[in-house]
Chain A
Amino acid sequence: MIKRLLPFLALLTLFVALSIASPSFLTSQNLSSVVRQTAVFNTLALGMTLIIISGGIDLSVGSIVALGGLAGTMAMAKGVPIPIGVLLGVATGLLCGFINGILITQLRIIPFIVTLGMMGVLRGLALIISDGMPVHDVPKGFQYLGEGTILGFPFVLVVLIACAILVHFILEHTRLGRYVFAIGSNSDAAVYAGIPVNFHTVAIYALCGGLAGLAGLIEASRLSTGQPTAGQGYELQAIAAVVIGGGSLRGGEGTVIGTLIGGFIMGLLANGSDLLGINPYVQQALIGAMIIVFVAVDELRKRRS
């Protein structure tokens, strides 16, 4: 209970403090921009939640953002309808994640190494297929994904909430989700219980890849270009969101709500610093320090119980 309360209280405090400190904070324009800015790594963080609960890590999601975005925009530039282009981007991410999962389970290399390697391979691939050049030739309607509004709300918020509900449902109510916890909590016990560990591991890496592909399209839509350099360093932001939200890199712990709260805490810190005119260099250090503080408090709580 306390576990979910702490990040939530931090988010609430941050929200109230910023509302008081800056008159331009509590405007629909500003809040929409926070939502849009955080949408990409929040989507990544949802997939990362699954991976981290299973005791793994995926460092390649930032590169998948670029590759998925490119695949979608390049197809659209060639005249493919927007929805098909979006599906292509997601499918590209799914495939990348699937390959991650296969390498991890078949070569029995730890996820950190596999996805570190794939981070480079996929980034290189993105640069190769685009020849290092951004794809500008994107249909106008594609911008709706990242910049559009529905009933006054940013459309990406709807997309994010839909993904969050999906991942939450998987984690809390499906066999797949239960096995993710089992594998993360004690993978030996999972094997001994006859759980098809490899199958489920591949499934969650593929799912995480698919979400990263979607994040790539959101990024491309917001920039209205496909960028081979997009998403650099996003994997770390995604991991940070999960960890601030109570996920444990030792596996077996984490929630979707926590991750979203973690993501928004980071988003508000960045936004608040901008509004209050805090130097962006200081911002970086601030967010970094927050990660350590949250995890330290969490560890303290665990040790006491």
Chain B
Amino acid sequence: MLLQMKGVEKRFGGVTALRQGDLEIRAGEVHLLMGENGAGKSTMMKIIAGMQKRDGGDMIWQGQSVDLDNPKQASQLGIAMVHQESLLAPHLSVAENIFLGREIPGPFGTVNRRKMLAEATRLIAQYGFRLQADWMVGRLSPAGKQLVEICRAIQNGTSLLIFDEPTSSLSEAETHEVFRIVRELRERGTGVIYITHRMEELRSVGDRVTILRDGATVHTEALATLTKERMIQYMVGREVNSIYRRDPLPPGEALLSVTGLSTPDLLRHISLNLHAGEIVGLGGLMGAGRTELCRAIFGLDPISTGSVQVAGRPVLLRNARQAVAAGIALIPEDRQRTGLARELPIAWNVTMANLDAVSPGGVIRHPEEAKVTKQAIDRLRIRCENGKQRAGRLSGGNQQKVVISKWVNRGARVFLFDEPTRGIDVGAKVEVFEVMDQLAREGAAILMVSSELPELLQVADRILVMSQGHLVGELPRCCTQEDIMRLATVPPDSGETLQ
């Protein structure tokens, strides 16, 4: 037994983040840790990695009871963590980041750059990463950064490695790369704890699962015997219909028509139509241009050729205002950074895109605004105290609903959802799908970008696939994940035709 956590507790002020955290990790196993947002997974991991001190319970490391005050002590024991958000210095090289805080010293208090570079190169080669030690970290893709994080964590004799949602920003192919590394670590006898939301990908990599709910460990079992339904049941504490399936409507008039859209750097002659009542999925690998397509349609990035029409009327693609005025809505992939004004009240977020309606003559009518907000909260079932609550205080799913409500309030008819369920709980995901379905039933046209294929298959009426800036094909809703992957990995100029 590598590590035992027994009845671990952690409180932040009056809030109990963890009240009964139990966990056992064997050497050479991949142990999945699951639970909804706020279940206490990250807190438990931070305690194990020495980033936070526990308030109660025991931590037993290789048979010895230990107390960790800081991450350095954890790393001396051989415990390391790969973080969900990249904690790297973008202006430094890969090698400098790998050795950040434990530089190899040279003479007179200097740093031995050459030795660090050589060591980093050796480490990278050992695991076969597609990286170079002298690359600037800021220029790397999210996947590349993840690899640097992994290098940092495994550099010297690590016996327990914690991954906190390592694949949440990675594409399918990159995810497989991470799995390959995880398996390799397992074979070397390293214990791996792996936190994730994406259940689909787990089967191929995990040995056992521990599930947390509301700050307590509720279940541990071998992955092979645990069904998805039971797993979800343990996570949410009730039965959830996770297999969401939408009944498609007969599509109405064409609401959004994109013709021959190209951008200087990526998109090539994209043409597509979205009809009223339709949810169209958009699949593809990271970097295929899905987010870029949404941004271009929304007028955020300059285009070189092509046109966009909403309900037959051309839209000038000069800036987002034109798109908003035409009735297009973008629910961006990075909710925290570009979707939500976290410090502002829910009400202000709801009316942000349509403030004119409640402020005739430039003066805001507060009762009117409160009424509109109440309607939005009821309609999308946003769980909150009231409209004055800060938007950033809500759970991920409810934050997403606030972002959506901004557009519902605006009366948008074309919705571009970019990764709408990223970082959202299982239960809340279904609610987001239901909102999308509701919008479609009310006559909206919806484009949904998702990297989670099962999600696309559940929700979309048909699925468009992009590869390297081209729209390479369209699939019906009854297609399989393999169909999508096959199209997504086809080089667009290979001449291979679509079905």
Contact = CB atoms under 8 A, between A and B. Distances in A.
B339 A178 contact: no
Nearest to A305: B13
B284 interface: no
A191 interface: yes
A207 to B, nearest CB: 14
A181 B348 contact: yes
A178 B324 contact: no
Interface residues of A, number: 23
A175 B359 contact: yes
Contacts of B366: 173
Contacts of B320: 191-194
A175 B353 contact: no
11 contacts: A173-B363, A174-B359, A174-B362, A175-B363, A178-B348, A181-B344, A181-B348, A182-B348, A188-B337, A192-B339, A193-B353
Interface in A154-178: 173-178
A186 interface: yes
B364 A192 contact: no
A194 B362 contact: no
B499 interface: no
A196 B319 CA distance: 10
Residue among A179, A194, A196, A253 with the most chain B CB within 10 A? A194
Interface residues of B, number: 30
A108 interface: no
Interface in B341-399: 341-344, 348, 352-353, 355-356, 359, 362-364, 366
A185 interface: yes
Contacts of B330: 192
B363 to A, nearest CB: 6
Q: Please indicate which of the listed interface residues B13, B332, B362 has the most CB atoms of chain A within 10 Å of its own CB.
A: B362
Q: Shortest 10 CB-CB distances between A and B: which pairs?
A: A194-B324, A185-B341, A193-B353, A188-B338, A186-B341, A252-B343, A194-B321, A193-B352, A175-B359, A185-B343
A182 B325 contact: no
Given A175-B355, A182-B348, A193-B352, A304 B13 contact: yes
A196 B324 CA distance: 11
Contacts of A182: 341, 344, 348, 352
A174 B362 CA distance: 5
Given A173-B364, A194-B320, A194-B324, A189 B352 contact: yes
A190 interface: yes
A194 B323 contact: yes
Contacts of B348: 178, 181-182
B406 interface: yes
Given A174-B363, A193-B324, A304-B13, A186 B342 contact: yes
Contacts of B319: 191
Given A185-B341, A186-B338, A188-B337, A195 B363 contact: no
Interface string B455-484: 000000000000000000000000000000
A196 B321 contact: yes
A176 B359 CA distance: 10
B280 interface: no
A178 B343 CA distance: 13
Contacts of A175: 355-356, 359, 362-364
